[in-house]
Amino acid sequence: MRIVILGAPGSGKGTQAAFIKETYQIAHISTGDLLRAHVRNGTPLGLKAKSVMEAGQLVSDELVLGMLADRLAADDTRNGFILDGYPRNLIQVAALDELLASVGQPLDIAVKLTVPFDIIVGRCEIRFKAEGRKDDNPDVVRERLRIYSDQTEPVVAAYRAAGRLVEIDGVGQVAEITQRIQDTLKPYA
Ligand code: AMP
């Protein structure tokens, strides 16, 4: 199974992707996690990405695509993958389609978690206190939500228009949302 999970920052993508990974034994590829590891390890990519991420902006398409292509080449993607945090804009949608077509592994479906922005802001505040991620600071969250509306909502619209999207209510208990996703994904397993 090859899927992307879409949703605003704090919509629960990472949490739900971890369950999907276990259920279907596929790779969970989070571009945010990969970038944070580069920052932690002080790699050349990490040095370029750090200030951009802390400001809540998007890292350059070219850098993220290169990182993603390397990750998709790893053995653990043979059963499929769930992409979390990519694509973030329309350029990345086209780049992903091209990359996956070149390896004969097209996407099955895009899953979008829908959560109202006021709930998102509250969740990011809780995560800021728990994990201390600089980009969960309320000012930066506002910028990330602005970028989501400007650049990532069109991604959702494009998958919807192409009939490649399922939308799931992302409000409720974690287990309830997991169940909704699993019911939706059954036909693709
Ligand atoms: P996330 O954990 O997905 O919220 O990502 C954290 C940060 O990493 C984002 O705010 C961006 O700065 C950067 N990032 C993650 N994925 C992408 C992407 N696909 N394109 C550009 N920047 C990204």
**Domain spans of the chain?**
2-188
For residue 20, count other CB atoms closer than 10 A to its CB. Answer: 22
pLDDT 10s digits, 129-148: 999 989 999 999 999 999 99
Topology annotation, domain 2-188: Rossmann fold (3.40.50)
Ligand 1 atom with least separation from CA of 33? 2
What's the predicted TM-score (pTM) here? 0.95
**Does any ligand 1 atom lie closer than 6 A to the CB of residue 13?**
no
Q: Describe the strand order of the beta sheet including 2-6 as a list of residue ranges.
A: 27-30, 81-84, 2-6, 109-114, 165-169
pLDDT 10s digits, 143-189: 999 999 999 999 999 999 999 999 999 999 999 999 999 999 999 88
Average pLDDT over residues 82-90: 98
**Does any ligand 1 atom lie closer than 6 A to the CB of residue 64?**
yes
**Does any ligand 1 atom lie closer than 6 A to the CB of residue 124?**
no
Question: How many angstroms separate the alpha carbon of residue 35 from the centre of ligand 1?
Answer: 7
